[in-house]
């Protein structure tokens, strides 16, 4: 048997094109994406802190960028990513403790993660504007 025959007969490893996307799978992928996005958001927080330490002129410049429509949209997305990743982490903690493995619990937790992250993000922004 030649090397080409061996490669042709090897089974394919499972990947996203084989699996049918289900909610828990999508939430796992989004959890990873939000985790990566938090690195970018942390850089934004660091930039804001550096601007605050640099003086009022530079702080006003950064605040103007963050206060623009695009800036607020990015900050809103960062807030959602933070809340979504936190709730996903709590879901994984429950799994690590041995809870929530049956199908109904997995689906409920995935839906609660999505709905909770949206609701908490909106609530945080409402509170933020009310306090402001």
Instruction: Please name each of the domains of the chain with its CATH number.
Output: 21-131 (1.20.1300.10)
Instruction: Count CB neighbours of 89 within 10 A.
Output: 13
Instruction: Count CB neighbours of 126 within 10 A.
Output: 10
Please tell me the pTM assigned to this model: 0.83
- CA–CA gap between residue 102 and residue 21 (Å, rounded): 18
pLDDT in tens, 74-115: 999 999 999 999 999 999 999 999 999 899 999 999 999 999
| Backbone φ, ψ for residue 10 (5° rounding) | -75, 140
Q: Is 15 annotated as a binding residue?
A: no
């Amino acid at each position: 048997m030649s090397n080409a025959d061996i490669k042709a007969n090897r089974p394919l490893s499972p990947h996203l094109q084989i699996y049918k996307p289900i909610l828990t799978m999508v939430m796992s992928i989004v959890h990873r994406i939000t985790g990566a996005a938090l690195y970018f958001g942390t850089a934004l927080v660091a930039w804001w802190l550096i601007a605050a330490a640099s003086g009022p002129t530079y702080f006003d410049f950064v605040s103007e960028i963050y206060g623009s429509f695009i800036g607020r949209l990015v900050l809103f997305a960062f807030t959602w990513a933070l809340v979504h990743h936190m709730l996903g982490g709590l879901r994984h903690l429950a799994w690590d403790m041995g809870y929530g493995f049956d199908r109904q619990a997995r689906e409920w937790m995935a839906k609660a993660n999505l709905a909770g992250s949206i609701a908490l993000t909106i609530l945080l922004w409402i509170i933020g504007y009310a306090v402001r």
